[in-house]
Amino acid sequence: GPPVAAPAPGPSHNLGLNVHSMTPATSPIGASGVAHRSQSSEGVSSLSSSPSNSLETQSQSLSRSQSMDIDSVSCEKSMSQVDVDSGIENMEVDENDRREKRSLTDKEPPSGSEVSEEQALQLVSKIFRVSWKDRDRDVIFLTSLCVQFKQNPKEVYSDFKDLIGQILMEVLMMSTQSRDENPFASLTATSQPIAAAARSPDRNLVLNTGSNPGTSPMFCSVGSFGSGSLSSVGGSGSTSVSDSCSDHFTIETCKETEMLNYLIECFDRVGIEERKAPKMCSQPAVSQLLSNIRSQCISHAALVLHGSLTQPRLLQQQSLLVPYMLCRNLPFGFIQELVRTTYQDEEVFKQIFIPILQGLALASKECSLDSDNFKYPLMALGELCEIKFGKTHPMCSLVVSLPLWLPKSLSPGAGRELQRLSYLGAFFSLSVFAEDDTKVVEKYFSGPAITLENNRVVSQSLQHYLELARLELFKILHNILLNGETREAALSYMAAVVNANMKKAQMQTDDRLVSTDGFMLNFLWVLQQLSTKIKLETVDPTYIFHPRCRIILPTDETRVKATMEDVTDWMAELYRDPSQFSEPKFPTECFFLTLHAHHLSILPSCRRYIRRLRAIRELNRTVEDLKNNESQWKDSPLATRHREMLKRCKTQLKKLVRCKACADAGLLDENFLRRCLNFYGMVIQLMLRILDPAYPNMKLPLNLDVPKVFAALPEFYVEDVAEFLFFIVQYAPQVLYEPCTQDIVMFLVVMLCNQNYIRNPYLIAKLVEVMFMTNPAVQPRTQKFFEMIENHPLSTKLLVPSLMKFYTDVEHTGATSEFYDKFTIRYHISTIFKSLWQNIAHHGTFMEEFNLLTLHLKCKDYWNEGPRLIDQQQARQSQLAQDERVSRSYLALATETVDMFHILTKQVQKPFLRPCCPSVHVLI
């Protein structure tokens, strides 16, 4: 009937609505569903109504919160893209019919007026698109209810909750019992719950479930989800191609899908009514009614997903909801309510959501960064893990209960196993590296020429994609850690990734046994985010020696100062009194896991990058040599062989250049490198506090007795800092200037000025090399950093004498290659001396050292030896390229050494004019 502006007071108790409390809707599956207040902001997902495929839109959609509040403006925009006309067909009805069929909510009653039972019935029939009075277009006629109302209308339902249940069961039973007819086929879609969210020209989603798809709510508009064909074709009840799970974005055409789609649309129409008539819908009775409608839609959807109305679904089958979730087109709040309704019944909860989790993992495994397809499984899992009731995250608990959350290792390749088999492995495996995913290099770097500008633009896009993916990965793991009952499982997984990949730190690693670089860098990024708010005061520096330390160090792990016997004795002494160990806290565990993750991810990736650059240089040289000497070999018997070699070298060179372009995107990400540098700044602060509790007010020299904790630390704690600095100075020097730079400078100075704290002379040499590489004569872009070192208050007194001492001590390193190593090390020191000599602050220190030391140079042997070495190298130059490099190094060292003495002896000659002592070792 027409709307009533001021309806006559009706018996409100007959509505069966509790206006004082929120009565839970009874779940048909036995779980109590908690009804939430209807909110005017409810509606279709904001992403599904925003088809823009720009990076900005992707960023916004990835960071969209799943809280129940949503900006009203975005709601209006969302609805503006959906064909809505209050549930009344707008194509085949003239204006008079439209006026006659206008429902109660088309004209909102005055504020404060009550809704009559008749008006409530109209609202219910409108939302469910049903009628028990007359057969009409665009509605489902309910024969059973019609008979009941005619026989005894007062006995049909006890309250509206009862009526809603009857309506839904009759509609759903009509769907299951009619073999050929689809009861929903005549309905015009008033919302688009399965409309494709992301659109691009290369992929279409077409759903044909009846003879007239244009008027069926199952019709899905053209959308895009990546490459390849996406279609589900067939009649009602037929089996679709999606049964093979070859495409997880394909919506299965079956009875269950028809029912699900109907329930989803009904759920969505509640939000539509709330937005159209917010005042009326805010009345307690109407609000309760709408909440009951939502809850009943969810409860019946759970029945459908469980297979209770058709045939039971196996856990191995992909959930019917997965395509909806991947297409980002479920109404806002639908999934949250589904979780709320089912999570207290463990068996039903698992039956519904384990297939969803498995479907998302399979979808992620098939995704790649060659399209933006990758983000949808991540977003769906992230939103599931974010759902919480009180302090409980039901989906987090379900995820860690999966058998493959942390599978046991079955082979020596524990790292690769964990990546391939663990539940989160597929999500963490997204990578831009060519060796991890060939699709990326084929799509972005397969053109005829790779220019620097093209590389830069593509790298920024890929880095943006990675940032989006990693942010979702962080949200997933962070929520699992926040959930008290799953925190231990999350920490165990983090530790397992670290322990299973210890072999990645080796110089020669079998990549088949460990996780990929892409996986490890994603893992590292997430751990970095978890560590950003850690305060060093809460970190226990002795954790690595704790009996309950999760990190398993190899028994032969080299320590900074102590021998393995020293470490064993010291730890035996510590363990005599276990009470002195406090239980490890999360900040400590997270910090050390992140530290070891750097050792197993960023550093191996840097080494691989440098090796690739070296291979490219060598191939370039080979190609150039073959081309330049073509006139010599083109007519020789070896011509065919040389041409084949030239062809192979060019092919390999092209491949390596493309791999390097991918690695530039994955590794030379300034934001990521800055995160690494800042974390190493925290590591340095921790070590400096161990060395001197007075930090940052340190004084040199340090105490002669090396603290046992520092002495027993793994040597790579210091070495990794030097190696990472060495890398960024060469390939990303702009990253160097961060707030942590001052601590890095202090650490270099302290270590170089207290060489007795480090047992391995090659580790000292690596620190010297870092200082050498930052010298403006070598790398002009790091002049400021070098000046910070040479002008540091702690360096002016001790740096020069310490370097002079190392210059002489390097004569005997104990290694078999010491004769050759000393040349390189002394070359570095002499270059540093030349720069320090220009600094007035170090002049005095040089003069003091000259007065204290007597330098003896046994030049004769060196100058007799030099020409012989050079002659030999020149003789072999045409045979081995390596000897050519050695020759250049020797000559450079000789020149550098003579140049250094030339500078130093301008003002100080006396120490150099004393007679040579035959017993003194050669210092060059």
The predicted-structure confidence for 252-277, as pLDDT tens digits, reads as follows 888 888 999 999 999 999 999 999 98
The answer to whether residues 342 and 348 touch, using CB atoms and an 8 Å cutoff, is: yes
C-alpha torsion sign, points 275, 277, 278, 280: negative
CA-nearest of 660, 717, 665 to 686 is: 717
The DSSP element (H or E) to which 653 belongs, if any, is helix 639-667
CA-nearest of 347, 307, 367 to 518 is: 367
C-alpha torsion sign, points 527, 533, 536, 537: negative
Q: Give the Cα-Cα-Cα angle 10, 12, 13 (nearest 5 degrees).
A: 130
More confident residue, 111 or 433: 433
**Side chain identity at 291, as an amino acid letter?**
S
Listed in sequence order, the DSSP H helices in 838-880 are: 840-852, 859-876
- 715 exposure class (CB count in 10 Å sphere: 0-12, 13-18, 19+): middle
Model confidence at 844, in pLDDT bands (50, 70, 90)?
confident
Total length of the chain: 924
The answer to whether residues 388 and 404 touch, using CB atoms and an 8 Å cutoff, is: no
Q: What is the pLDDT of residue 605?
A: 97
Determine the Cα–Cα distance for residues 757 and 812; give it in Å rounded to an integer: 18
* Cross-strand bridge partners of residue 389: 392
CA-nearest of 407, 402, 384 to 394 is: 384
Tokens describing residue 811 = 């004569």
**Per-residue pLDDT tens digits for 160-198:** 999 999 999 999 988 887 666 678 877 876 655 444 333
C-alpha radius of gyration, the chain, whole number: 36
Q: What is the pLDDT of residue 580?
A: 82
**Per-residue pLDDT tens digits for 770-827:** 999 999 999 999 999 999 999 999 998 899 999 999 998 888 777 767 777 788 899 9
**Model's pTM, two decimal places?**
0.78
Q: What is the pLDDT of residue 314?
A: 80
The Cα-based distances of 292 to 140, 161, 393 in angstroms read 20, 6, 24
Determine the Cα–Cα distance for residues 258 and 176; give it in Å rounded to an integer: 10
Q: What is the SS3 string spanning 886-913?
A: HHHHHHHHHHHHHHHHHHHCCCCCHHHC
Q: What is the SS3 string spanning 583-616?
A: CCCHHHHHHHHHHHHHHHCHHHHHHHHHHHHHHH
Tokens describing residue 445 = 């770097």
Determine the Cα–Cα distance for residues 240 and 250; give it in Å rounded to an integer: 9
pLDDT more than 70, % of the chain: 74
Model confidence at 465, in pLDDT bands (50, 70, 90)?
very high
The per-residue pLDDT of the chain, averaged, comes to 79
The DSSP element (H or E) to which 60 belongs, if any, is helix 55-62
Model confidence at 702, in pLDDT bands (50, 70, 90)?
very high
CA-nearest of 471, 461, 466 to 379 is: 471
Q: Which of 156-191 are b and which e, b meaning 16 or more Cβ less than 10 Å from the residue's Cβ? A: bbebbbebbbbbbbbbbebbbeeeeebbbbbbbbbb
C-alpha torsion sign, points 350, 356, 360, 361: positive
Tokens describing residue 710 = 């520092």
The answer to whether residues 293 and 147 touch, using CB atoms and an 8 Å cutoff, is: no
Q: What is the pLDDT of residue 876?
A: 54
Tokens describing residue 280 = 């009326």
Model confidence at 382, in pLDDT bands (50, 70, 90)?
very high
The answer to whether residues 327 and 47 touch, using CB atoms and an 8 Å cutoff, is: no
DSSP tag of 407: P
Is pLDDT above 70 for 200?
no
Mean predicted confidence (pLDDT) in 41-66: 33
Structural domain boundaries of the chain?
116-191+250-312, 593-858+874-923
The answer to whether residues 191 and 211 touch, using CB atoms and an 8 Å cutoff, is: no
Give me the DSSP letters along 676-689: HHHHHHHHHHHHHH
Identify the three-state secondary structure at position 228: coil
CA-nearest of 822, 753, 824, 737 to 786 is: 737
Q: Between helices 818-837 and 881-904, what is the axis angle to 10°?
A: 40
Residue recorded with tokens 């690769």: 416
pLDDT more than 90, % of the chain: 53
Residue 307's contacts (CB-CB under 8 Å, 6 or more residues apart) are 256, 313
The DSSP element (H or E) to which 881 belongs, if any, is helix 881-904
Model confidence at 560, in pLDDT bands (50, 70, 90)?
very high
The answer to whether residues 443 and 529 touch, using CB atoms and an 8 Å cutoff, is: no
**Side chain identity at 830, as an amino acid letter?**
S
